[in-house]
Amino acid sequence: MLSVVSSILISAISDDGNISDILEIDGDEQINTQKIFDSSNFNGKRNNRCFFRCTITTTDCTFKDCFAFGVGLTFGSGGALYLSTSNLISKNTNYMSNAANTGGSLSIVAGDAIISKNEFINNEAIANGGAVQITASKHGIYTEIDEVNYSSADLKTINPRISISEDTIFENNTCRSLGGALYIQAANIMIENTKFNLNTARFSGGAIYITNTQSNIIGCNFTSNKCQQRSEFAFKEKSYYNQQVFNSG
């Protein structure tokens, strides 16, 4: 595993083999650390808000007009925050008008999250997860900052454990593929007392797209979420599902 130094450079390689972007990761601030954001406002390009093996806490914050576009997860996922094998506690935080290739506001890869009393409004993803994308990692604890043979038989999947609750709101989030508000892959998730209003996906899961995931969805309210080709919800695994649905298509 890589020893942390003062900074690490990650390069994005385009289809023609050329370097299309370079991201500098601060070894002290973005790797193996704890960060607390309290009553703070953020906007603009997400570069210095990607974290590896960290614990991140946001309280009474606003992430507005943040964005992440580029090749691969590190550059193009999570307009406000990108967390790789990192844990997130997000309370009373607003995510508004953020955009990314995937996960318009948040991208969580192989990490746990507690999301409570948050608002996700007017976020957009070009592909999956208009507001939030949550995925497992087949590389175990290893991330983009590690020099490792990803074909090693010793590597195992880490599945995120996610809780979304306490009147969190997902409203008017959009994506051009799967999961207008949430895209969840290979995780364990509890969604409770959460509102999904006016979210839109092009292909499947106007509000939520879930695949290979154990999910409990309890006491939630779904109103006027839309999907152009399939349903408001897309579940690829068994789920416990108990909520109210109004005027949805």
> Which range, of 11-20, 34-43, 195-204, averages the lowest pLDDT?
11-20
Could you give phi then psi for residue 224, rounded to 5 degrees?
Answer: 55, 35
Q: Which residues make Cβ contacts (< 8 Å) with residue 79, sequence separation at least 6?
A: 46, 63, 66, 67, 68, 98, 99, 100, 103, 104, 105, 123
Q: pTM for the whole thing?
A: 0.85
Total domains in the chain come to 1
Is residue 136 domain-resident?
A: yes
Is residue 109 domain-resident?
A: yes
Distance CA 137, CA 145 (A): 14
Q: Which residues pair with 188 in a beta bridge?
A: 161, 214
Is residue 14 domain-resident?
A: no
Is residue 148 domain-resident?
A: no
How high is the pLDDT of residue 235?
Answer: 52
| Sign of the CA dihedral running 72, 74, 76, 77 | positive
Pick the more confident residue, 5 or 50: 50
Is residue 220 domain-resident?
A: yes
Is residue 147 domain-resident?
A: no
Pick the more confident residue, 21 or 205: 205
Is residue 15 domain-resident?
A: no
Residues of the chain above pLDDT 90, percent: 60
Neighbours of 119 (CB within 10 A): 17
Is residue 169 domain-resident?
A: yes
CA 18 to chain centroid, in Å, comes to: 28
Domain span at residue 108? 29-142+158-246
